[in-house]
Amino acid sequence: AQTVTQSQPEMSVQEAETVTLSCTYDTSENNYYLFWYKQPPSRQMILVIRQEAYKQQNATENRFSVNFQKAAKSFSLKISDSQLGDTAMYFCAFTASGAGSYQLTFGKGTKLSVIP
Amino acid sequence: SQTIHQWPATLVQPVGSPLSLECTVEGTSNPNLYWYRQAAGRGLQLLFYSVGIGQISSEVPQNLSASRPQDRQFILSSKKLLLSDSGFYLCAWSGSASNQPQHFGDGTRLSIL
């Protein structure tokens, strides 16, 4: 079974600064996908970024980037130039590759507050 | 573009009453559909997923059930709600291929009294 651990229940960052959210996972699979989702106070779950395990290059989406360390089973999210709208819960999620793999395993989340 | 609609946004129900939450997807065919529950301060727990009409897989035993009467319609039901059913319920869809990212609806806040 896969597990996803987010060790930081809460974090805060000054507006315009950079913050890194941690995520580690445990799996015996070799091929899999990792995701970061954002859940603002409105509660809508929004996909932020996605990483395929077979790709060595770290995924980036505008101000969001990941540091994927496959050997260490680590998948951290870096938010650059933090904005007030980044205030949200952030969830790391994992899904195994291969036919019939549908389940997303989520971490418990990190509550990020961006301070003006 | 694809959109997902989930309703109602909030629901207050007495213990023992029935439940029906509905989710529909537009702009895509043969999506995979999912129901999640999010308890306060926790991540998401997958309850059911469906890869086609009438095909439902349950991940967690409970007094809830799911149905998929049409390709883009997914319904979460219960005959008798329990206090422990309170929570935030999210519907999601993904492409039919494995490992596609899941896209979520706005959720339903369910409170059981």
**pLDDT of res. A56:** 85
Three-state SS for A85? helix
Span A3-26, pLDDT tens digits: 999 999 999 999 999 999 999 999
Q: Which residues of chain A have pLDDT under 50?
A: none
Pick from B57, B102, B106: CB nearest A43: B106
**pLDDT of res. B24:** 97
Span B71-102, pLDDT tens digits: 999 999 999 999 999 999 999 999 887 667 89
CA distance A103 to A29: 14
Distance from CA of A9 to the nearest CA of B (A): 9
| A106 contact residues in B (CB cutoff 8 A) | 43-45
**pLDDT of res. A10:** 96
Provide the strand spans (E) within chain A.
3-5, 10-14, 19-21, 24-26, 32-39, 46-52, 60-61, 64-69, 74-79, 88-96, 105-106, 110-115
**Is B90 within 8 Å of A104 when comparing Cβ atoms?**
no
Q: For chain B, what percent of residues have pLDDT higher than 90?
A: 75
Average of per-residue pLDDT across B40-64: 86
Given CB atoms, is B93 within the 8 Å cutoff of chain A? no
Distance from CA of A50 to the nearest CA of B (A): 8
Given CB atoms, is A7 within the 8 Å cutoff of chain B? no
Q: What are phi and psi of A45, to 5 degrees?
A: -90, 120
How far lies A18's CA from each of A6, A91, A115, B56, B111, in Å?
A: 18, 18, 12, 43, 38
Length of chain A measured in residues: 116
Average of per-residue pLDDT across B42-54: 89
